[in-house]
Amino acid sequence: MTSKTSVIPTRRALLGAFAATMITAAPAMAGVFSYNKGAGSIRRVNLRSGRTGEAIDIIYWIEGEYIRPALDEVNYFMRDWRENRATNMDRRNIDLIAAAHNLLETDEPFHMLSGFRTQRTNNLLRSRSRRVAKKSYHIRAMAADLRLGSRSVSQISRAGLSCRAGGVGKYYRSNFVHLDCGPVRTWVS
Q: Is 72 left (phi over 0), alpha (psi -120 to 50) or beta?
A: alpha
- The overall average pLDDT reported for the chain is 84
- Taking 70 as the threshold, does the pLDDT of residue 9 lie above it? no
- Calculate the alpha carbon distances from 29 to 34, 36, 115, 176 in Å: 10, 10, 30, 32
Domain ranges of the chain: 4-188
- Taking 80 as the threshold, does the pLDDT of residue 23 lie above it? no
**CATH number of the structural domain 4-188:** 3.30.1380.10
Return d(Cα 131, Cα 114) in angstroms, integer: 14
Closest listed residue to residue 33, CA positions, set 160, 188, 174, 173: 160
Spell out the residues 6+ positions from residue 28 whose beta carbon is closer than 8 angstroms to its own.
34, 36, 37
- Taking 90 as the threshold, does the pLDDT of residue 11 lie above it? no
pLDDT for the residue numbered 17: 41
pLDDT for the residue numbered 38: 54
pLDDT of 111-156, one tens digit each?
999 999 999 999 998 889 878 888 899 999 999 999 999 999 999 9
Mean pLDDT of 22-40: 40
pLDDT of 35-64, one tens digit each?
555 555 899 999 999 899 999 999 999 989
